[in-house]
Amino acid sequence: MSVRINNKSCNLCGICIDICPGNLLLKKEDKVVIRAPEECWDCAACVKECPTQAIELYLPSEIGGRGATLRAKKEGNERIWACKNPAGEINEYRIKIK
């Protein structure tokens, strides 16, 4: 699995680049790209911290079906994880954060 970056939503803040434990994300011209998708270990740190929800993580097919993705956003004291299945249905999971 790996991540997909929607560069139309990206503001080039660089948070994901700083936070990726594998140093896999980098700026290339005016885009953020993943340099070695096969080395991504799906930790979702970049997904969690991206302030514009520009990154989504492909989930293993056993979890959400082939092509299912995961995004995250922060609202107040909650992190909202949104899992989209291949049919486009979204299930949200709200987790309180400190």
Q: Which residues lie near ligand SF4 (CB under 6 A)?
A: 3, 5, 10-16, 20-22, 24-25, 32, 34, 40-46, 50-52, 54-55, 57
How far is 15 from 46, CA to CA, in rounded Å?
A: 8
C-beta of 20 vs 68, nearer to ligand SF4: 20
Query: In whole angstroms, how far apart are CA 43 and each of 16, 79, 87?
Result: 12, 16, 24
Smallest distance, ligand SF4 to C-beta of residue 42, A: 5
C-beta of 8 vs 98, nearer to ligand SF4: 8
Strand partners, 90: 84
